[in-house]
Chain A
């Protein structure tokens, strides 16, 4: 079938585009980038901000180019003194209803409203008058909502509904008093929010932010909370993305510089959450093999992503028995630091301060889960920094990140296999698990390393892997609308999965709610961005000597010296957890 082509003229240049193309997209083919704010290529059309207006011949009013499809013979003008003035007026009106604190704002100069203001040449404020005044909701453990910075573009509402299927945000009130927030504009943690932080990621301003943990980390580093042994561990995905905050090309792995930067900030021990990713594979893999052999329900649902776990508890509580009981790698690691490591070092766990560097906003909520509290009443992780927060700290410390020498993680909790690295990309946990399960099931020493079917930014990936003559049906979901799809397949019996990897954020941790705002050339949620970041992790993995979690000698030693058996008594006490239905129940 041939596509119907439409002929039109944009700024005097004729062009041909497929029917259904919007004026904005057509203009891009000519190298014309029409200014925009509420538009997001990976979300539905809103047409709210009116910044992308153009003049169309035959119409005496401007038309929004993001929402208008082309027609045959259309004549479009994207630029004229009148259009430029109108766009300037629109952005000026937004600015005049917006706090004037760009220099001290958490967006750190990477704000789309600010960028448009500069781009459109706004040099004065003509419409200053009454400005909206609303309280900031800082009650949430993960997400902070500041409606005064909101420009009502609706991206957060759309990402929450369309990508995550959570539908927790809505506009409340009307006109000048419109506020975006959860039901009744109540506290975030009492809403159906699953803390994924995608609203933070897509927000063009700072109306949504992660809960700040930098202050408590600065305090610990400066000795203000007493003499503490400061331990930090960094998630797999951080090494693939933090370079972006320092101007490095997207997808540049910076593991060595990251370690050096943390050492210079003053941490006493620097570990790799990859280690506990490997450990997760041993624990979860053992659990899976047991269930595969009839000792429990199938499929096994992975439990690494705290956003997903929140979703499970609020939206699909009846499926809790399917979830792996493994704590997330972060919580396994922090727990081991305050038990295993503390004992070996002879340090009182109360004198250890554990910081986790995470791509995730939901981790900030996870650390306070009462069921994760250690036997002595301590919480395992004392602070969680997002990739963005760590980058701010490194910058303000005056560290020239790009030119740092490469450092190495400390032992023993810094040793990891490549299987741990790929945890950060969607499909990574599954691939890591399959590498180990393949060996364990077949009894052979070596097995396949690369499982191409579970790689890629697809949303819901399915594959059947034959291991030792046994067919294992696997599914990988990233983004919770895809998780919904898989869960509904399981409920209806339509699909017969054995194991399902679920990550709350689309693309996995590399696209987590705490990851760097992408550079101007790219959009959050862009699959190309996810691919570049994922490639960095797969490259790190490919260059490692150790590729399978169970080959990690530090893991072997941990079991020999301390834990005993995988899924054993101590393993259950330290590395496993439980879940329960939570209110308010989400609407599927």
Chain B
């Protein structure tokens, strides 16, 4: 008897089915089309960008699916995802807060501002609050040095801000009236 009847111990079909269900059609198509490329792993960043664009972040399930379907080691996928600043591993909150750490803001005490935000929200830079309301990140210069130190919430710039004003700004976003259904 030669090599033939070994499908019973294989798990590829299960793995594949789960992975396919974790990604949208256009990404599956892209992966499939570029599988035969000379260096298929060089498509990794593009694929991850597509995933982030679709989901808003890179979830564990999606990264696993990318690894299996594109046959790129998962360690490489998560290595790339954690290396580049543009990739987020957590969903983004409803409101995005950026603390400017440009030179002018920094000398005016942006680090204290950042610390107050982290204390108030209970998260670090790059993270999202448990209730999904706020994400916190660092920006370099926002081009409003005259107002330093500044923070930006969903594109709205506040400045100059003192640490004690931080709770008042956050309150505004928490209190925003709900849009009637």
> Which residues of A come within 8 Å of B, CB atoms?
161, 167-174, 181-185, 191-192, 291, 294, 296-299, 317-322, 490-491, 493, 496, 579-581, 583-585, 587-588
Contact = CB atoms under 8 A, between A and B. Distances in A.
Contacts of A161: 73
B10 A317 contact: yes
A171 B1 CA distance: 45
8 closest cross-chain pairs (CB), A and B = A170-B79, A318-B10, A167-B73, A170-B75, A183-B74, A581-B11, A320-B9, A183-B75
A584 B74 contact: yes
Contact of B6 (A299, A318, A584): A318
B6 A297 contact: yes
Contacts of B75: 167-170, 181-183, 191-192
Contacts of B79: 170-172
Contacts of A588: 71
B15 interface: yes
Given A174-B82, A493-B3, 17 more contacts: A167-B76, A170-B78, A170-B79, A172-B82, A297-B1, A297-B2, A297-B3, A318-B7, A318-B10, A320-B9, A490-B3, A583-B11, A583-B15, A585-B11, A585-B15, A587-B67, A587-B73
B86 interface: no
Contacts of B71: 587-588
Most central of A171, A173, A298 by chain B CB within 10 Å: A171
A588 B10 CA distance: 14
Contacts of A585: 11-12, 15, 68
Given A184-B78, A191-B75, A297-B3, A317 B83 contact: no
A192 B73 contact: yes
Contacts of A490: 3
Chain B: number of interface residues, binned into ranges = 20 to 34
15 contacts: A170-B73, A172-B78, A173-B83, A174-B82, A183-B73, A183-B75, A184-B74, A191-B74, A192-B73, A192-B74, A298-B3, A320-B6, A320-B9, A321-B9, A587-B73
A174 B81 CA distance: 11
Contacts of B4: 297
B76 A170 contact: yes
Given A318-B7, A320-B9, A584-B64, A183 B78 contact: yes
A220 to B, nearest CB: 37
A196 to B, nearest CB: 15
A581 B78 contact: no
B90 interface: no
B8 interface: yes
A472 to B, nearest CB: 15
Nearest to A175: B83
Given A167-B76, A172-B79, A192-B74, A321 B68 contact: no
Contacts of B12: 317-318, 585
A188 to B, nearest CB: 11
A163 to B, nearest CB: 15
Most central of B8, B9, B60, B71 by chain A CB within 10 Å: B9
Interface string B15-51: 1000000000000000000000000000000000000
Contacts of B181: none
Contacts of A581: 9-11
Nearest to B10: A318
A116 B127 CA distance: 40
A308 to B, nearest CB: 16
B153 interface: no
A297 B6 CA distance: 9
Contact of B83 (A167, A171, A579): A171
B15 to A, nearest CB: 5
B72 interface: yes
Nearest to B16: A585
A584 B19 CA distance: 12
Contacts of A318: 6-7, 9-10, 12
